[in-house]
Amino acid sequence: METALKGSCIIGQSGGPTSVINASAYGVIRTALDNENITRVFGAAHGIKGVLGDQLYDMGEEDARELELLMNTPSSELGSCRYKMADPDVDDTDYKRILEIFKKYNVRYFFYNGGNDSMDTCNKISAFMAKSGWECRVMGVPKTIDNDLYNTDHCPGFGSAAKYIATSCAEIYKDARVYDTGMVCIVEIMGRHAGWLAAAASLAGIAGCAPDLIYLPETDFDMDKFIENVRRVYEENGNCLVAVSEGIHYADGRFVSEAKTSATDGFGHAQLGGLAAHLAAVVKERMGVKVRGIELSLLQRCAAHNASAVDVEEAFMAGKVAVESAVAGETGKMVAFQRRYEDGQYKCDCVLAPLDSVANYEKKVPAEWITPDGTNVTQDFIDYALPLIQGQPERPLENGLPRYARLKKVLAK
C-alpha cells in the first residue's frame, strides 16, 4: 500500500446530528493534526455544501482544549446539511467544483461523517476523483442514531440515543404511575423505517420500568389490535406505557402519523400534534381513560448530558481509524464496527467496509428479535443493545451546565 501521500484533509458532517458526531469529528481532527502526512486540517461548514461554497474552517487555528471539548458537545459543530449529490453521469457540476476546491487546498484526504446518504456522497466523490486522476483518499465515518447502516454491528450515535430513550422511559414510567388513578402513556420515538430506537425503550426494564408495549415499523400496525392490547394491559395493571416508533404504518404502507383522517381511526379533523398525540386521542376516544402522549423529539438525538461512554469512545475511535487507514493507503471505505466478546466482556473492533456495500441500504431490526404478536422485542435485542449504553463520560460542567466546545471557526484562505 502507498503510504506517503502528503496533503490536506477535509472533515465534513452530514445528516441529522447525534450526541456523539462531534466525538467522531474530533477523532478525525486530532488524529489528522498529529499526522505528519497531513499538512492542513479543514472542517467543512455544513458538510459538502461547505466544500462547494469554499467555506472551510482551518482546524489548526483552534485551541487544543476547545477541540477536545467536541467529545461532549452534541449536534454537528461544523454544521450539517441534507444535500443529495446528483448522479455524476447526469450532472457532474458539483463534482467538478469539489475537484477544483480539492486542488485549491491540495486536499488528499476526505472524511465524511454521516448515514446512508452520506456514504453514497462519499462513494460518488471517491469514484469521481479516481476517474479524474486526482489522488484523494475518501473515507466514510458512520453516524446515525437510527442504527440502520449495513455492514456494521452498530452505528455511533445509537448507544447514546438508546440510553437517553431508556432512561427517559424509566422516568416516565415512574411518573406515570404515581396516582392510584390509571393512565395510558404513549411515548413517540424517532425511527422512520427501522425500529432500533423504539426497541431501546425496552432497556428501561433494567430499572424495572419496561414499557408494556413496543411498536416498531418492522411490523404492520393495526389500530384495533393496538387498542385491544392497551385495554388488556390497562385492565390488568391499571396503567399502560407504550413506546411507538414514529414510522409505524398500516398494512397498506400508510404511516399511522399521516393517515389520521382515515376511517381506520374515526378521526376526520385536521391535527397539529404528532403520532403520540394522535394515538393518545384514539385511546381517549375508544377507552375513555386518562392518557398522555409524549414525543421525545429532538432531545433523543442531542442529549449529550446522558451520553453513553462506550458510544463516545467508539465514535472517537471511528474517526481516528478513518484517518489512520487513509494515511495507510485505504480509500473508498467506511469504518465499521465488529463486536466480539473477550471473557464475556463486550469489545468493539474497527474494520473497513466498501462504501458501495453500505450506501443506500437500511438495516432493520431482525424479525426474530420481535415478539410474534409484534408488541415487544426479545432478550436478543436487549443482549445486543445493552453493551452500547454503558458508562458515563467525563463531562465538564460550567455553572451547572455542560461546557461545550467554543470553536473560532477561522475560514481557510
From CA 321, how far away is CA 305, in angstroms rounded? 26
Cell of 383: 443482549
Beta strand spans in 87-142 (E) = 107-114, 137-142
Which of 52, 81, 107, 190 binds its own copies (CB under 8 A)? It is 81
Give the helix/strand (H/E) hosting 79: none
Total residues in contact with its own copies, by rule CB under 8 A: 71
Residue in the structure block whose three cell numbers are 467525563: 394
* 137 neighbors 329 (Cβ within 8 angstroms): yes
* Whole-angstrom distance, CA of residue 95 vs CA of residue 89: 10
| Nearest distance from C-beta of residue 179 to its own copies, angstroms | 6
Quick one: which of 99, 201, 277, 317 contacts its own copies (CB under 8 A)? 277
Exposed/middle/buried for residue 381 (C-beta within 10 Å: 0-12, 13-18, 19+): buried
Q: Which stretch binds its own copies (CB under 8 A): 89-97, 106-114, 264-272, 314-322?
A: 264-272
Residue matched to cell numbers 449529490:
85
Sign of CA dihedral 140, 143, 146, 150: positive
- Which of 36, 180, 252, 342 lies at the binding interface for its own copies (CB under 8 A)? 180
Selection from 259, 298, 296, 299 nearest residue 279 by Cα: 259
Q: How far is the CB of 52 from its own copies (least distance, A)?
A: 12
Going by C-alpha positions, the residue among 240, 228, 256, 257 that lies closest to residue 185 is 240
Q: Is 168 in the site for its own copies (CB under 8 A)?
A: yes
Candidates 1, 178, 251, 263; binder of its own copies (CB under 8 A) is: 178
**Of residues 129, 141, 281, 370, which one binds its own copies by CB under 8 A?**
281
Candidate list 66, 290, 402, 409; residue touching its own copies; CB under 8 A: 402
Q: What is the DSSP string of 251-265?
A: TTS-BTTT-TTSTTT
| Residue 140 backbone dihedrals phi, psi, to 5 degrees | -95, 140
Least separation in angstroms between residue 4's CB and its own copies is: 36
Q: Is 58 a catalytic residue?
A: no
Q: Candidates 27-35, 231-239, 366-374, 397-405 — which segment interacts with its own copies by CB under 8 A?
A: 397-405
Q: Kindly tell me which of 180 and 343 has the beta carbon lying closer to its own copies.
A: 180
Tell me if 413 sits within 8 A of 331, measured CB to CB: no
Contact residue for its own copies among 63, 175, 228, 373 (CB under 8 A)? 175
Asked if residue 163 binds its own copies (CB under 8 A), the reply is yes
Residues in region 298-317 near its own copies by CB under 8 A = 298-299, 301-306, 308
Contact residue for its own copies among 34, 100, 206, 232 (CB under 8 A)? 206
Q: Pick the closest to residue 409 from 65, 83, 58, 113 (CA basis).
A: 58
CB of 35 to its own copies, least distance (A): 28
Residues 6+ apart with CB under 8 A from 374: 215, 216, 219, 220
CB of 78 to its own copies, least distance (A): 9
Is residue 272 a contact residue for its own copies (CB under 8 A)? yes
What is the nearest approach in angstroms of its own copies to the Cβ of residue 367? 26
Residues between 343 and 372 that touch its own copies (CB under 8 A): none
245 makes contact with its own copies (CB under 8 A): no
Q: Which of 97, 193, 292, 339 binds its own copies (CB under 8 A)?
A: 292
Q: Which residue in 232, 197, 220, 147 sits closest to 367, CA to CA? A: 220
User: Is residue 84 part of the contact set for its own copies (CB under 8 A)?
Assistant: no
| Smallest distance from its own copies to CB 246, Å | 13
Q: Which one of the listed residues 146, 212, 265, 311 is annotated catalytic? A: 146
Measure the CA–CA gap between 13 and 78, rounded to whole angstroms.
7
| Of residues 19-48, those binding its own copies (CB under 8 A) | 45-46
Active site residues: 146
